Every structure is written in structure tokens, then in C-alpha cells.
């Protein structure tokens, strides 16, 4: 009996490994990713098969179906009347970004930089206090601390005025959030959604796909997007990190409606509830018809049929004529982004990558060291921000195109997370971003030491950490 059972288990195990190997080869976007999974599955099948079932999925199930069912939300935004006239010198780049994100560049927007947490949450709370119809809140991390309770106070007050308030947070990012925080909001009439709970136990097989978006939309007319989550550390109150250097943007006008549409799509996929008839869509009109500020939301994620996150960065990098500056807390590029950075540097562009000096996630920090030498040799420059922890996600292309949002320069944002970046094709806004990043560079040190000059443990472990790049 024992022999028969062992034989059955062996056959079952072999079939499971064979299936996972086939699935890894068939679904991997890159040969490196496929090879890594095959080696892992064959060498350690008892660990490899469960890991692949949880982490190896390339796309989120049913997300495109949910998108099709709620596509009328995007149709509301994607009209000829709402489209802006694209500048000739940027037309191909902006059209590419439109196709990647599925939303048009529109004029009539007001976009304001919000530097660091104090300015960001003061602005968010003030706009929530002015809400008349709806408030949509989405964060990757929400904590039940001073800032978390402050935001809850404003949301409860809005609900008491009769405003429809919805809050959605990521189940992994907010895993430490106590149920009492959500219960208080629900008792006040706020709809609170954790997609991991709403979609049932099968969502655990999609644990590697996270919703990393951080947005607030009020009345469909004012929206906020950027790098801040909800927690005291984002106000610089955590002594481990000190100053938390982050950036949000406040948007008024048609792009606020785009951000609301993406929130509604996420809500629909997570809960099955359509918000088509329950949110104000006419509110996101041009704030000033004479305002030529062009902007668009570029949402990306594993529900897309293409690698939209990587393509977004690739498009921005290859569009540069004079410079491309990118600020990101993590740097784990894929081969396409590596090639784009090398090509831009070899062509004489000013290519700069701004990273933190403080470590919050050790493995990505370690893996990044394996890329520096190769890219520096072609002219790419790397800087470490020294005045606290840098968490902003910002792109500056030349002097007329900039982006702020949630996407990091790593494979997780390229292919595994749902992200949002607001692109603004406007010289004045790009100038604001240039001044902000220039101030950050003043507070930074350029990385010039080679890997061979690093401590022994970094020299040995960084190439090994790079092997995990497809999952970082």
C-alpha cells in the first residue's frame, strides 16, 4: 500500500512539474524568466510547484472581462471633444502613451505639484471637506495611526453630509490594518473594500499581483495621484527613515475623470459592482477652455494584453532628445529598459537615475548594484538621495514632458502591479518638476564606485539577487 501511494504521489508530482514547466515556458514574457522558473521547478519541485502556482501567473484572471463590462466608463472620457491638440514634435510619443494606457491626452487641466506628505494630505483633506457628491479613495497601504485616523475623520464627516464615500485598499500592503479602522467607516456609511476578501479564497492564487495605485477623486473633478500612502512615516515621523521625500500631483479637469474611471474599473473587478450610474461623470470638464495644459492618465497592470508598464518607461526614455531624469525608490530594470537607457546615454542624452540611500527593502536594493557598472560605462549617471528616504516616482523628459505617479523602475511595477502615472505635456509643469528634481540632486551623492569596490557581501550577493529580478 505504501509503495502504491508513493508511486501515485510520484506520478502526480511529475505531472505537476511538467505542467508548470510547460506553463512557465508558454507564458513567460522573457527567456530569462522562463529559464529561472524551469530551473527552480526541476531542482526543487516540492517548493517550486506551489511557488509557481502562487507567483508564476502572468496575468490576472477576469480583469479584461471586467474592463470590457465597464468600458463605457472609458468611452465617456474618450471623445473627440475631450481630446487635446497634440504638439507636432511630441505627437508620436503622446499617441504611443495613449495606446499604452487607453486614455487620451486632453487639454483644460490644472496640475499642481505636491511635495512631501504635509502638503499632500493637507490638500487631500481640504478637498474631501468640500465634497458634494462623491469621494473615491484608493491606497496600497493604510495604517491605523495618526494620519490614518485623520483621513478617516474627514471621510466620516463627508459621509455624514450625505456624500457617497468609497475606500479601497490592497490586502497585502494594508495587511496590518485592523478591522476596527474599516468598521468605523462602515458604521458611518462609507463603503470599504479589500479586494482580497471580496473576491474570495481563489484570489490567494493571485497574491503576486498587487494594486499599487494611490489615488483620491472628489466629485469626479479633482484628483490626487502619487507616491504617498497613508501612514505617519509618509509625514516624516518615522525616525528610521527621517524625512520622507515623496511627490503627489493634484489634478483638476478632464484627467480627474480619467482617474475616477480607473478607480471604477478596479472597484468593478474587485466587487462586481458597476459605478457607471453612481458617480458624477460630467464634472470633469475643462477647468478653462483656453488652458492648453495637456495631460493624460496612463494606467498599467497585469490585466493588460501587453507589458504596459515596461512600455510606458521605454516610450518615455526613447522620446528624450536632450535629457531623461527618473526618480524611483527601486531600480531593477528589464533588458528593454536597460537597452533604452544605454541607447539614450550613447546618443549623448543627460540620463540620470535618482535613488534612495536609505534601505527599506533589502533584496531590490542589493539587486540594483548588479546593474550600475554596466550602465555607468555607457554614460548613465546614478545618484543616491541623502536627506531622508526617497520614495517619489517621477519622470522628466527634456523640458516639455513630465510624469508623476505610482510606478517604480522595477519589474514588479512593469508587470505585476496595477499602477497609474499622470503624464503632463506642458513646459511650465516640466519646469516645476525640473526645479524640484534639481533640488533633490543637490541633496544627493553621485554613485561612482564600482561593484568590485563594494564590501564583500555585496559583491557576492548582488549578482545572485539579480537572478530574482523577474519577481522584484
CB 371 within 8 Å of CB 331 = yes
Q: Find where cell 528616504 sits.
A: 389
CB 55 within 8 Å of CB 24 = no
DSSP 415: I
Give the separation between CA 222 and CA 118, rounded to whole angstroms: 18
Q: Which three three-digit cell numbers place residue 439?
A: 533640488
444 backbone dihedrals φ, ψ, rounded to 5°: -125, 160
Q: Which three three-digit cell numbers place residue 283?
A: 464634472
Question: By C-alpha distance, which of 151, 98, 101 is closest to 122?
Answer: 151
Give the separation between CA 305 and CA 383, rounded to whole angstroms: 34
Give the separation between CA 341 and CA 320, rounded to whole angstroms: 10
Q: Which three three-digit cell numbers place residue 21?
A: 514547466
Q: Which three three-digit cell numbers place residue 6?
A: 508513493
Known catalytic residues are 212, 214, 219, 391, 393, 398
- 109 Cβ partners below 8 Å, 6+ apart? 251, 252, 253, 254, 255, 286, 287, 291, 293, 294, 295, 424
Give the separation between CA 293 and CA 110, rounded to whole angstroms: 7
For helices 362-376 and 456-466, what crossing angle results, to 10°?
Answer: 90
261 backbone dihedrals φ, ψ, rounded to 5°: -65, -40
Give the separation between CA 31 and CA 8, rounded to whole angstroms: 33
Amino acid at each position: 500500500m505504501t509503495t502504491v501511494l508513493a508511486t501515485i504521489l510520484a506520478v502526480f508530482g511529475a505531472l505537476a512539474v511538467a505542467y508548470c514547466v510547460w506553463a512557465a515556458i508558454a507564458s513567460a514574457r522573457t527567456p530569462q524568466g522562463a529559464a529561472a522558473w524551469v530551473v527552480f521547478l526541476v531542482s526543487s519541485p516540492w517548493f517550486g510547484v506551489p511557488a509557481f502556482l502562487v507567483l508564476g501567473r502572468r496575468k490576472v484572471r477576469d480583469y479584461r472581462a471586467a474592463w470590457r463590462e465597464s468600458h463605457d466608463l472609458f468611452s465617456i472620457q474618450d471623445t473627440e471633444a475631450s481630446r487635446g491638440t497634440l504638439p507636432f514634435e511630441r505627437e508620436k510619443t503622446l499617441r504611443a502613451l495613449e495606446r499604452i494606457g487607453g486614455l487620451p491626452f486632453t487639454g483644460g487641466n490644472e496640475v499642481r505639484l505636491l511635495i512631501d506628505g504635509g502638503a499632500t494630505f493637507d490638500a487631500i483633506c481640504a478637498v474631501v471637506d468640500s465634497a458634494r457628491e462623491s469621494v473615491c479613495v484608493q491606497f496600497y497601504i493604510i495604517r491605523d495611526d495618526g494620519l490614518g485616523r485623520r483621513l478617516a475623520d474627514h471621510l466620516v464627516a463627508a459621509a455624514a453630509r450625505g456624500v457617497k464615500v468609497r475606500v479601497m485598499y490592497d490586502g497585502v500592503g494594508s495587511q496590518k490594518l485592523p478591522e476596527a479602522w474599516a468598521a468605523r467607516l462602515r458604521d458611518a456609511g462609507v463603503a470599504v473594500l479589500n479586494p482580497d476578501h471580496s473576491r474570495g479564497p481563489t484570489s490567494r492564487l493571485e497574491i503576486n499581483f498587487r494594486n499599487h495605485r494611490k489615488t483620491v477623486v472628489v466629485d469626479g473633478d479633482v484628483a490626487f495621484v502619487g507616491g504617498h500612502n497613508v501612514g505617519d512615516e509618509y509625514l516624516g515621523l518615522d525616525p528610521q527613515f527621517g524625512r520622507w521625500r515623496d511627490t503627489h500631483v493634484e489634478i483638476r479637469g478632464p484627467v480627474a475623470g480619467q482617474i475616477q474611471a480607473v478607480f471604477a474599473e478596479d472597484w468593478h473587478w474587485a466587487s462586481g459592482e458597476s459605478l457607471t450610474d453612481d458617480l458624477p461623470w460630467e464634472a470633469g470638464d475643462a477647468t478653462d477652455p483656453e488652458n492648453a495644459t495637456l495631460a493624460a492618465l496612463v494606467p498599467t497592470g497585469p490585466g493588460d494584453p501587453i507589458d504596459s508598464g515596461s512600455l510606458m518607461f521605454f516610450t518615455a526614455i526613447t522620446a528624450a532628445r536632450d535629457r531623461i531624469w527618473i526618480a524611483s525608490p527601486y531600480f531593477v530594470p528589464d533588458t528593454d529598459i536597460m537597452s533604452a537607457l544605454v541607447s539614450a546615454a550613447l546618443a549623448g542624452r543627460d540620463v540620470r537615475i535618482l535613488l534612495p540611500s536609505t534601505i527599506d527593502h533589502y533584496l531590490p536594493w542589493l539587486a540594483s548594484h548588479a546593474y550600475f557598472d554596466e550602465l555607468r560605462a555607457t554614460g548613465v549617471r546614478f545618484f543616491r538621495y541623502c536627506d531622508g528616504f526617497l520614495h517619489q516616482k517621477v519622470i522628466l523628459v527634456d523640458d516639455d514632458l513630465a510624469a508623476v505617479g505610482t510606478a517604480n523602475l522595477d519589474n514588479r511595477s512593469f508587470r505585476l502591479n496595477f499602477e497609474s502615472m499622470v503624464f503632463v505635456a506642458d513646459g511650465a509643469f516640466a519646469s516645476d518638476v525640473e526645479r524640484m528634481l534639481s533640488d533633490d540632486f543637490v541633496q544627493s551623492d553621485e554613485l561612482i564606485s564600482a561593484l568590485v569596490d563594494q564590501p564583500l557581501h555585496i559583491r557576492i550577493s548582488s549578482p545572485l539577487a539579480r537572478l530574482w529580478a523577474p519577481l522584484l
